[in-house]
Amino acid sequence: MNINNAEFIISAVGPQQYPDGQLPEFAFIGRSNVGKSSFINTLINRKNLARTSSHPGKTQTINYYLIENTFYFVDLPGYGFAKVSKTMRAKWGKFIEAYLSKRNQLQCVFHLIDIRHVPTHDDVLMFQWLQHLGIPTIIIATKLDKIPRGKRQQHIAQIKKALNIKEGLIIPFSSVSREGKDEVLALLDEMLG
């Protein structure tokens, strides 16, 4: 697949604003600043549709993009930003949980993790939660261009170990070099049947 048509639909603040209908949805989640907006922009061949933000944690909405008029990309708010109150965190949790656990259009979650570092406590909790909910999850290891080629396997192993992944998909990705893009698009093709 090559995505030529992507249209921003809505920044939803609650379930009543999610689009009607039964089009399949693919969601994206990760720490703030992990490269989620850049990932979406790379997939849809746009520079700035999913806004690249230098202000982590600002987005507390679920952003819907209609792709090729046949499915949705769903950008979930980032987690793990430091300067956020407990009340805000609880609110975030409820909002995301409602989407992840109740949305039957959801096909798969792309969980983005920075390839440079050991996954954070929040990354591990998020991944375990997705497993617990039984949601098919694909790990996208972002910012691949920032580590030397010779260290790739080591960094991927580090993610697998922290998340306790035996089998399962980890796709190294860079929105700078676009490595991993074709693999992600092929997976989408597969999931869309």
Point out which residues bind Mg ion (CB under 5 A). Answer: 36-37, 53
Q: Closer CB to ligand GDP, residue 144 or residue 188?
A: 144
Q: Does 60 interact with ligand GDP (rule: CB under 6 A)? A: no
Nearest residue to 123 via CA among 60, 66, 165, 177: 165
Q: Is the dihedral of CA 38, 86, 25, 22 positive or negative?
A: negative
Q: Does 181 interact with ligand GDP (rule: CB under 6 A)? A: no
Piece of 90-98, 102-110, 122-130, 170-178 that binds ligand GDP (CB under 6 A):
170-178
Mention every residue, 6+ apart, whose C-beta is less than 8 A from residue 2: 45, 185
Q: Does 33 interact with ligand GDP (rule: CB under 6 A)? A: yes
Q: Closer CB to ligand GDP, residue 32 or residue 137?
A: 32
Q: Closer CB to ligand GDP, residue 100 or residue 172?
A: 172
Work out the angle at residue 46's Cα, subtended by the Cα atoms of residues 43 and 51, and round it to the nearest 5 degrees.
95
Residue 11: which H helix or E strand, with range?
A: strand 6-12
Applying CB under 6 A, which residues contact ligand GDP? 30, 32-38, 52-53, 56, 78, 142-143, 145-146, 174-176
